[in-house]
Structure 1
Amino acid sequence: MRQLDSGCDEALAVADAVNRELRAGERAFIHLGRTGRRCLTVDPATGGGQLMVRQGRFDGYVRLTRDGSEVYLNAPAPGSATVGRLLDVGRLLLPLGTFRTPLADQVPHAGEWRNRDGRVSLESVATDPVPLLSRLAEAAGPDCAVRTLAVSEVLGEQVFADSTGPRGQSVCRGAEVQAAASADGGATVARVSHYAADLKRIDLVTLGRELALTAAALGPASASLPGSEIGFLPSAAAQLLRVLVSALLFNPIAEPRPLCTAVVDDGRTADGCSARAFDCEGTPTGAMELVTRQGEQQAVATRLNSVVGTGGRKARSLTGHASWEARRYQPQPTATNVRLAPGGAAPDLWSGERCLVTDVRSLGVEEFRSGGQLALRLLAARAVDGVPTGAYAPLVVEGEAVDFLAALTGVGETASYHPGPFSVGGAPLSMDLSRLSERNEV
């Protein structure tokens, strides 16, 4: 089978070419990253498979500095033969640039880092996909038909090089299982995916149950939500956490509230889709509580921007949260791999009669109008011992990010990470809607 090969040497060759083109008094910092995917698509009906490999291409930026001025140069798919022209453009722009003193002295990551050793093997699945398909179908149940299945190896790579000497490499390999299904022969298709560092770390039983419940929630509503206690499937919990963290990066928590959990941001967690040793500025990543159990938000900072914490507290040093934003021509603060720490009453989603949320969507207009106030639409299914028995009418719940965190009554262990602008871990959640300021049914 075709393999997904590392290209860090190719990216570092571009950095060497930049250094050769520099003139006296000039300094350059270059960061390049890419994501590749090797995907095996399996036909559930026949067991046949088709392999597709996309190596991806490196892109990033060059920061050129001279005589107290600096300029960021967008570098999509740079090559050793074209960096000279890129630097010539930068020299024309340097008089318009200004030198910006970093928040603190930067101590860059050095050397090579990997989240795991070796490749993710798809060969066993390609040779005999029946065991995987059987486990997934059994967990989904007889009323849920699996339509498509894709098993992927994902490769994320980053390199940075400073013309003064420091350079680093970061390699992240992981596995993703994506499945689509419909319930009771319906035409509406539900899609669910799980990601981890290796296929063996993906729980196919949980994935199959989520798939069946997600498909059921897309059917016609048979009842309104009874009471205020609800559960969240891991995939829906990841959607919720992504919305909350995105809001917190723009509207930090002003008034802390006691929580049963903490929001953890860990750049080097092995199972994270965005696991990496350093950010786009070369600053080492690590684990921190973005929001503590006391409901206080911690600050994050890049060379040019920062997000203050609760009480307006600023970060004392760079925190490893910079992400290159090509449209703005400068790095922006972001999250890396976020998850909720276990806490509260351990949620059991698979016993008894439960209302289980399968999908969370932000109604963004409300958020922009109210400056931090979120309106989220929830889709939910009725389940008895984890088996779907119908769909509830959609809900709209409202509050600030800290209100939603304070409404959580239980958080389980992280079941899977999910890709996006930043990686998000999903875990079984339980929530008391009566703790939110408003709840509307639609």
Structure 2
Amino acid sequence: MNNIHIVVPDLPESVVDGTVTTWHKKIGDILKQDDVLVDIETDKVVLEIPAASDGVLEKILVTEGETVTSGQVLGLLGCTYDNTTPITSNDQKNKNISCEKGAVFQNTVNIQAIGPSMRRFISENDTEPAKIKEKDFSQNLIQSNIKRHASQTISAQDELIAEQTSTTATLIKRSEMRIPMSRLRARMAERLLKAKNTTAMLTTFNEVNMQSVISIRKEHGETFEKRHGVRLGFMSFYVKAVVEALKRYPEVNACIDGLEIVYHNYFDISIAISTPRGLVTPILSDANTLSMSDIEKKIKELSLKGRANKLTVEDLTGGTFTITNGGVFGSLMSTPLINPPQSAILGIHVIKDRPSALNGAVALLPMMYLALSYDHRLIDGRESVGCLATIKDCLEDPNRLLLDI
């Protein structure tokens, strides 16, 4: 049988190593070409390593939890398989036969010595003749022995159940579980701590009346879905409003590189998405060129890929500004952390009916808090407050987006 090396592929740029998280196959498993063998988790994505050809998994050289680098051999794949090889050896067959004979021998009892009435009595007491060792001199089972054996069995079972229940209750009350932190979460923690310690971060707040957006969605949502095959959500309004604000305040779309300020003449909006592996921020590239339907379709695509751990490095690379929606989890207000090397992030929150002033009177309106965290080294109060006010105005009156006012 010829062996093929299972090799770690070239890792994405800026990724030094990865961790073997899951072997989907065991040694001896029969494989088809392109069957997924193993998952490797990096700081950014999860890489799936497929089988190069049909065969058998011969050897695993790197176990789960170990760190690997590009080009490292993970295991050996036998590229041919002999279907004529018997599944059960002669030794195993002989062992099975021996076990069967032993079982027959152990369960053998002097059945001829048990009459019909005794057999009925044994059945009523839910016991087996072979388990009762005490017999009278004529090798016949007697009712007193059967009753004593049945009572002893019940008492032993009750004690065992009580002991197991007590042990389980104790373990549930005082148990702990330790699992290693995923590479993505460890990297995210490192980046967020770095952002907190290396930026002069401030947060400014505002609130927005979402009645206009809600009315548009209610009036045109069904038609929008029929035409474009995707629901009209809030996020497309947020993205459009953010792009308009970034056009007016380019400092918020810029970043610091050493002693230089880098102004981006494009708008790549990062969207924070919660996945089983942790928080990721895939990119809406050139968001200023996307229509409302394009934004909704792209966000849906990225969300599905994120939950299935199918995001690629290209999906996560770049970004000039981030939007994070804590409102989907019920957050009323927060101070989001900047996603470096970006200089600002917008936090949007849950929409709640609150009494607010409207045309000189108090009315119950669907209000939402906005939070803009920014790096004060680059962005001053004028730009940050003006940017947030522009987002507020565009959401309260979406016609501004059409009229460019």
> Per the shorter chain, which TM-score range?
under 0.3
Give the TM-score normalised by the residue count of structure 1: 0.24
Give the TM-score normalised by the residue count of structure 2: 0.25
Greater fraction of residues in strand: 1
Greater fraction of residues in helix: 2
